[in-house]
Amino acid sequence: MMYGYAGYVLKVDLTKGKVIKEELKRELIQKFLGGRGFGAKTLFDELAPGVDPLSPQNIIIFAVGPFTGTLVPKGCKYSVISKSPMTNCYGDSEGGGFFGPELKYAGFDMIVIYGASEKPVYLWINDGRAEIRDASNLWGKSTFETTELIQEELGDKSIKVACIGPAGENLVRYACICNDLYRQAGRTGMGAVMGSKKLKAVAVRGTGEIKIAKPDEFLELAKEALKKTLEMPATKMLREQGTLLQIMASNEWGVLPTRNFQDGVFELAERLSAQYAIEHLFVKARACFGCPVACGHVRYVKSGKYKGALNEGPEYELTAMLGSNCGIGSLECVIKAAQLCDELGLDGISTGNVIGFAMECYERGILTDKDTGGLKLNFGNEEALLEVIRKIASREGIGDLLAEGVKRAAEKLGKGAEDIAVHVKGLELPAYDARGSMGTALGFAIADIGGSHCRSWTMGPEISKGIRFEVAGKAEMVRDSIRARTLPDILGFCRFCLLDFNTYAKLLTAITGTEYKASDLMEVTDRVYTLTRAFNVREGITRQQDTLPKRVLTEPLKQGPTKGVYVKKEDLDKMISEFYKLYGWNENGVPREETLRKLSLEDVLESLKSIGKIPS
C-alpha cells in the first residue's frame, strides 16, 4: 500500500501512439517525495543533454504530490516539467484549480510524455485507463472552447482539462497550459512544448480515493492547519482584495515595473489597484480545490469600450506587466488583455514584459511603423496592446518576432535593443524591480528557471525589516525562501499563506505512515534544487549566466524610495558566491562532489563526471 500516493505512472509515446501504466518506484518517493521532485529527477534521467526543447526528443511531465487532493489546506497543485524553450535549460511550472487532484483520483502520480504526434491529439485519462484521441477538430480553438468541446465529446462536464491555445500551437516560446479555464501553468513555455508534440490537451476524470496511513491523526492535523491558515492576516487580505493588493504596495516601495522597467513608480497605479477593482469590477471570490483563501477574484467590465470583458483576475503579476509596464492605467483594458491571454494560452507576465520592451523600442526608433505594420506601439496605447497580444499568439507580423521572447527578439533587432531587454537566462523578469531589494536581485539572478519570483521572494521581509538595500545575509534569506517555496511544489500545495516545516512534516507523516522531520523536508528541497542546478550545468549554464539585465546593473531608478538605486555588480557577485557556498557548489556554480554524495545524488555525480563537468 502506497499511502498518500495513487501508486502509478502513465507513460505516453505520442510517436508510436502507445500508453503504458507502470508502478511508481518507491526509491523515487523516498528521495524526491512528489511533484516537482518527481519531474526533475525523471527529466534528468531520461533527457539527453543538448536536446532542442521544441523537438520530439524533449519530454514533458505532469506530476502531483502527496498533499495533492487531500484535506491539507490548499492541496491543489500539480507541476509540469520539461526543458524550457525560453532558456534551453531546466523548466517547470505549477498549476492550481482542480486538475491536479483529479489526476490523482484518476490513479496517477505522474504522466511522462515522449515523442510527437503527426496530427493533433489529446490524452484522455479515466480512472486508471488512458487513450490518445484525435484532436483535429480542436486545433486552432481557444482554451475555453477546447475545454467545452472535450467535455461535450466525452459527455461529462466534470472532466478536468489542461490544454493549450493557439499560442502553444504556434510555438510561442512563452505559451502556457490552461486548466479550469482561469488557472495557468505558465512562465517557462510548457504550452509551446505541448504544441511541438501536437498535444492539444490532457483530459482527466477520476473517482478513486487516496489512502491515508493514519486517518484520525491526519484529520486532526488538517483541522489544525486549516485553523492556522484562517487566522493569518494574509488570508483575510487575499480573500478580500485578491493579489491586486500588491499594486499599491509595490508602487509605494518604488518597485512597480513601469514603462519597461524604466521606473518603479506609476502615476496611474490607483486605477490598477485592488480598491478600484472592488469598487467597480468585483463579482465574487473563487477558490482552487481545498483552499480557504480564495484569492481568485472574478471581475467583469460593465460598461465602456471593454464592456463584457470577464476574467478571474487579473492577478497582480499580469496587472503590473500588462498595465504599468506598458504604460496602461486602465484596469478595464488589463482585464480584456488578461482574458485574451487566457483564451489564447499566453503567459501574461512574459507577454507584458515583451510588449513593454517593444513599446520602448518603438519610442526609441529601434522598431518603426514598417516593422509594426502601422501599429503605433507607444506606451499607453491600449488598442495596440490588445492587437499585439493577438498577433503574438498567431505569430503574425511583429508578433512573430515578439513570440520568440525578449532575449531572442532583442538579439535579432540589435541597435541597442539588448541593453533594454529585461530578462535572466532568457526568461522575462516578473513584476518586481530587482533594484528594490538585494534579496530579489540575488533570487532572480540564480533562479534555475530564469527570471522568476516563484523560486524566492524576500522583498516584503526585507522592506519590513529595513534591510532591503543591504548585502549581508541575503544569501541565507534567499536560500530559506527557496526551501519554503520548493516544498509546496514537491508536496503539491499552494505557496500562499505558508505554515512551518514542522507542521508539514507531521502532516506528511500521518498521510504516508513514514516518519518525517522538518530537517528531512529541508534536505529534499536542497536535493531537488541541486539536481536542477546539475541539469543546467549539464546544459552549459555557468556563473556567467547567473546575472541580471544591464538596466538593473547600470541604470538608477528615477523616483520614490528607490530613487538613484541600482544593483552594483560587485554586490551581486558577493551574494552569488555566498549563495553557492551555502548550497555546496563551487565558485562556478557546479555542485561539488561531496555535496552530491551528501544529498544521495551519486548517479547525478557520475553523469557530470562523464561529460567533464566535475573532475573524475
Q: What is the DSSP letter of 315?
A: -
Residues 6+ apart with CB under 8 A from 173: 85, 86, 189, 192, 403, 404, 405, 408
Q: What is the pLDDT of residue 615?
A: 84
User: At CA 238, angle to CA 234 and CA 240, rounded to 5?
Assistant: 120
Span 400-444, pLDDT tens digits: 999 999 999 999 999 999 999 999 999 999 999 999 999 999 999
Ranges under pLDDT 50 in the chain: none
Backbone angles phi, psi at 511, to 5 degrees: -70, -50
CA 547 to chain centre: 20
Burial zone of 285 (CB within 10 Å; 0-12 exposed, 13-18 middle, 19+ buried): middle
Which region, left, alpha or beta, applies to residue 505 given φ > 0 means left and ψ of -120 to 50 means alpha?
Answer: alpha
Q: What is the pLDDT of residue 520?
A: 98
Is the distance from CB of 160 to CB of 204 less than 8 angstroms? yes
User: At CA 531, angle to CA 526 and CA 535, rounded to 5?
Assistant: 150
Q: What is the pLDDT of residue 607?
A: 97
Beta-strand pair 60-64/110-114: antiparallel
Beta-strand pair 183-185/110-114: unpaired
Span 166-206, pLDDT tens digits: 999 999 999 999 999 999 999 999 999 999 999 999 999 99
Question: Nine-digit cell at 42?
Answer: 525523471
Torsion of CA 436, 437, 438, 439, to 10 degrees: -140
Q: Other C-beta atoms within 10 Å of 517: how many?
A: 13
Q: What is the pLDDT of residue 1?
A: 79
Beta-strand pair 160-163/183-185: unpaired
**In what side-by-side order are the strands of the sheet with 160-163?**
129-134, 121-126, 199-205, 160-163, 177-179, 183-185
Is the distance from CB of 89 to CB of 541 less than 8 angstroms? yes
Per-residue CA distances from 217 to 212, 320, 506 (Å): 10, 43, 9
Question: Nine-digit cell at 562?
Answer: 528607490
Is the distance from CB of 160 to CB of 177 less than 8 angstroms? no
Instruction: Specify the residue for cell string 492535523.
Output: 221
Is the distance from CB of 333 to CB of 233 less than 8 angstroms? no
Q: Other C-beta atoms within 10 Å of 227: how many?
A: 11
> pTM of the full predicted structure?
0.97
Residues 6+ apart with CB under 8 A from 558: 262, 263, 265
CA 27 to chain centre: 27
Helical H segments across 345-416, by residue range: 348-364, 369-372, 382-394, 398-402, 406-413
